[in-house]
């Protein structure tokens, strides 16, 4: 079979050919087995928590299978949604409706018909029974998207449903309002908790190795390693970059992945990401209110203020998800041309504090980095990748 690259590397959906199974919290069992075990524990609700884009949804799809999974998003629920009507609609059951029975009599020549209509509401019990009989597993994905009032209502419904042995998985981000589930005393002792960790380099490498092998494209271990470093912790980024590599190779009718292709594939991949505004906000810093900021000459011939230097330093090699202050300070100092003004540590700290305040007050996408407890944390691996490869002409 001649596979196409887009069927092998799938950054946005289920990667049938590049699915990698990971070890669950160093227990020696896989995440898949852990989820299977949880689903077999009758009367318990499974709660999956993990950072964005780490494979929560994909894990559910893999273990439960597309014919048995009933995927509902937290976003499907707002205050006036009837929980069971939404579930019924997803499984394809008519929940509310009208039955019209027609009787036709063909006596003599005249054809008469008389119809009777009846309104009905399918009960919650019927929905639960249907799911159990058909081995359906309810996955409430992105639970944090549901409004808080609705989350509480859902938790009540779920408590009752799992007692009747309906299989339910609730998926959510960490530090988010899924307290309705994990902190719910009614549910305590009736929950299987699964925490999804960020990806390690070895597992990320497997995505590339598996995929290129399927496509009969040679890839050395050292190339796979470079890719894995660049992806930080993101399997999705790995899928994106590998697909870009394939597109370039096909376009140039090449079969070998060298450093040149790698670098161009990185740049090419960043066009998928839209962090231009985030970079602008960080490099501008707070409103200078008419005051002129000190500019520093950089080793590569630019003139930047300290906010600009912070952006440059974030993007430096090697890409790191967390950078302690000392390392960060040294990175900044190394950006500045020798002989230019000295920079003291407290000034850098103050600037980082200012940035933290600005980013905190903005929308989700701006929370790509965080400065706390003496460290700079990258919260979104795609953002760092963009910083490194998306600003080439900027």
Ligand X SMILES: Nc1ncnc2c1ncn2[C@@H]1O[C@H](COP(=O)(O)OP(=O)(O)OP(=O)(O)O)[C@@H](O)[C@H]1O
Partner interacting with residue 151 (select from Mg ion, ligand X, none; CB below 5-8 Å by kind): none
Which of ligand X, Mg ion, none sits in contact with 236, Cβ below 5 to 8 A by type?
ligand X
231 three-class SS: coil
Which residue minimizes CB distance to ligand X? Answer: 55
54 part of the interface to ligand X, by CB under 6 A: yes
Tokens, residue 16 = 């049938």
CB of 211 to ligand X, least distance (A): 9
Q: Among ligand X, Mg ion, none, what binds residue 381 when CB lies within 5 to 8 Å by partner kind?
A: none
DSSP type of residue 100: E
Least gap, CB of 134 to ligand X (angstroms): 24
As measured in angstroms, the least distance from the Cβ of 228 to ligand X is 13
Nearest to ligand X of 59, 369 (CB atom): 59
- Residue 318: asked if its preceding bond is cis (omega within 30°), the reply is yes
Q: Which contacts (CB < 8 Å, 24+ apart) does range 188-192 have?
A: 190/43, 190/44, 190/45, 190/159, 190/162, 190/163, 191/44, 191/45, 191/46, 191/47, 192/37, 192/38, 192/41, 192/44, 192/45, 192/46, 192/47
How many other β-carbons are positioned within 10 Å of the β-carbon of residue 272? 15
Query: Which of 151, 233, 236, 270 contacts ligand X by CB under 6 A?
Result: 236
Q: Is 148 exposed, middle or buried (0-12, 13-18, 19+ CB in 10 A)?
A: exposed
Instruction: Work out what residue 52 binds among ligand X, Mg ion, none; the CB cut-off runs from 5 to 8 Å by kind.
Output: ligand X
Query: What character string, x for contact with Mg ion (CB under 5 A) and - otherwise, covers 34-63?
Result: ----------------------xx------
The verdict on 233 binding ligand X (CB under 6 A) reads no
Phi, psi of 368 (to 5 degrees): -85, -25
Q: Which does 270 bind (CB under 5 to 8 A by kind): ligand X, Mg ion, none?
A: none
Residue with the two structure tokens 């950078």: 323
Cα–Cα separations (whole angstroms), residue 186 to 125, 139, 152: 21, 20, 11
Window contacting ligand X (CB under 6 A); options: 38-46, 47-55, 261-269, 367-375: 47-55
Would you say 315 or 382 has its CB closer to ligand X?
Answer: 382
**For ligand X, which is the closer residue by CB, 57 or 244?**
57
* 172 vs 313, beta carbon nearer ligand X: 172
Please count the residues of this chain forming the interface with ligand X, following the rule CB under 6 A.
Answer: 22
Q: Does 53 bind ligand X (CB under 6 A)?
A: yes
Residues of this chain, 73-102, that bind ligand X according to CB under 6 A: none
Positive or negative: CA dihedral 138, 142, 146, 149: positive
Instruction: Give the number of residues written for the chain.
Output: 394
- Stretch touching ligand X by CB under 6 A, among 145-153, 214-222, 233-241, 280-288: 233-241
Instruction: Supply 219's token pair.
Output: 């890839």
Decide whether 8 or 217 has the Cβ nearer to ligand X: 8
Minimum gap (Å) between residue 72 Cβ and Mg ion: 12
207 lies in the site for ligand X, by CB under 6 A: yes
User: Where do the H-state alpha helices sit in the chain?
Assistant: 5-8, 31-40, 56-64, 83-91, 124-133, 148-163, 179-182, 201-214, 221-230, 235-251, 259-270, 276-284, 306-314, 325-335, 345-360, 381-389
The C-alpha atoms of residue 34 and residue 36 are separated, in whole angstroms, by 5
Residue 13 lies near ligand X (rule: CB under 6 A)? yes
> Residues 378, 380, 385, 388: is their CA dihedral positive or negative?
negative
Terminal Cα distance for the chain, rounded:
43
If the CB atoms of residues 18 and 233 are measured against ligand X, the closer one turns out to be 18
Q: Give the residue with the Cβ less far from ligand X, 82 or 213.
A: 213
We find the least distance from the C-beta atom of residue 207 to ligand X, in angstroms, to be 5
Residues contributing to the site for ligand X (CB under 6 A): 10-13, 15, 18-20, 50, 52-58, 142, 173, 207, 235-236, 239
Residues engaged in binding Mg ion (CB under 5 A): 56-57
């Amino acid at each position: 079979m001649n596979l196409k690259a887009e069927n092998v590397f799938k950054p946005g959906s289920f990667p049938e050919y590049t699915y990698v199974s990971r070890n669950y919290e160093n227990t020696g069992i896989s995440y898949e087995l852990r989820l299977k075990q949880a689903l077999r524990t009758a009367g318990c609700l499974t709660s999956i928590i993990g950072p964005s884009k780490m494979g929560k949804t994909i894990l559910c799809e893999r273990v439960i299978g597309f014919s048995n999974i009933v995927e509902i998003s937290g976003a499907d629920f707002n205050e006036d949604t009837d929980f069971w009507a939404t579930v019924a609609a997803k499984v394809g059951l008519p929940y509310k409706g009208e039955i019209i029975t027609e009787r036709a009599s063909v006596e003599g020549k005249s054809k008469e018909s008389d119809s009777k209509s009846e309104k009905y509401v399918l009960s919650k019990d019927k929905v639960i029974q249907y799911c159990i009989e058909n081995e359906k597993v309810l996955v409430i994905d992105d639970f944090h998207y549901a409004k808080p009032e609705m989350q509480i209502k859902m938790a009540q419904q779920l408590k009752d449903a799992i007692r009747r042995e309906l299989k339910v998985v609730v998926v959510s981000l960490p530090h988010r309002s899924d307290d309705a589930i994990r902190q719910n005393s009614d549910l305590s002792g009736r929950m299987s908790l699964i925490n999804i960790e960020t990806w390690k380099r070895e597992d990320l490498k497997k995505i590339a190795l598996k995929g290129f092998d399927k496509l009969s494209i040679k890839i050395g271990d050292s190339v796979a390693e470079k890719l894995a470093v660049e992806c930080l912790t993101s399997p999705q980024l790995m899928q994106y970059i590998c697909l870009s590599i394939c597109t370039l190779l096909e376009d140039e009718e090449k079969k070998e992945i060298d450093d040149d292709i790698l670098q161009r594939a990185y740049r090419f991949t960043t066009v998928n990401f839209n962090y231009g505004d985030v970079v602008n906000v960080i490099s501008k810093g707070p409103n200078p209110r008419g005051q002129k900021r000190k500019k520093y000459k950089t080793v590569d011939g630019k003139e930047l203020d300290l906010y600009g230097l912070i952006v440059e330093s974030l993007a430096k090699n090697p890409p790191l998800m967390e950078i302690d202050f000392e390392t960060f300070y040294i990175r900044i100092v190394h950006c500045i041309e020798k002989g230019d003004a000295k920079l003291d540590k407290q000034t850098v700290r103050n600037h980082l504090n200012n940035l933290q305040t600005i980013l905190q007050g903005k929308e989700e996408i701006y929370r790509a980095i965080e400065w706390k407890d003496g460290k700079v944390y990258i919260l979104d691996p795609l953002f760092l990748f963009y910083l490194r490869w998306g600003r080439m002409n900027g």
